[in-house]
Amino acid sequence: MYICVCKGVTDRAILEAVSQGAERMRDLKVNLGITEQCGICACHAKRVLDQALMRETPAQPPVT
Ligand code: FES
């Protein structure tokens, strides 16, 4: 699904960027061009980024 229509960026592209180290919206802007034009994609891109980061971060073991 397209997240940023202006730059033709899909949710898969964001997931791939996260798997390669992207952690912030700034990373997506620099690497993919997200929010560089109209900026309408910002909220949706942030949501996809947050979900991708949660998947990338391994669960913390319980503190004993
Ligand atoms: S939809 Fe992303 S900058 Fe316009």
Kindly state whether residue 63 falls inside one of the protein's structural domains. no
Containing structural domain, residue 25: 2-56
Token pair 């997240």 is at which residue?
3
The most distant pair of C-alpha atoms in the chain lies apart, rounded to whole Å, by 49
Please indicate whether residue 38, judged by its CB atom, sits closer than 6 Å to ligand 1: yes
Please indicate whether residue 4, judged by its CB atom, sits closer than 6 Å to ligand 1: yes
Q: Write out pLDDT tens, residues 3-44.
A: 999 999 999 999 999 999 999 999 999 999 999 999 999 999
Give me the DSSP letters along 4-42.
Answer: ETTTTEEHHHHHHHHHTT--SHHHHHHHH-TTSSS-TTH
Reported pTM: 0.86
Question: 32: domain CATH number?
Answer: 1.10.10.1100
Instruction: Give yes or no for residue 63 having a pLDDT over 80.
Output: no
Per-residue pLDDT band at 56 (split at 50, 70, 90): confident
Which ligand 1 atom sits closest to the C-alpha of 42? 2
Residue range 37-62: average pLDDT? 90
Query: What pLDDT is stored for residue 59 in this prediction?
Result: 66
Kindly state whether residue 61 falls inside one of the protein's structural domains. no
Query: What pLDDT is stored for residue 54 in this prediction?
Result: 93
Instruction: State the total domains in the chain.
Output: 1
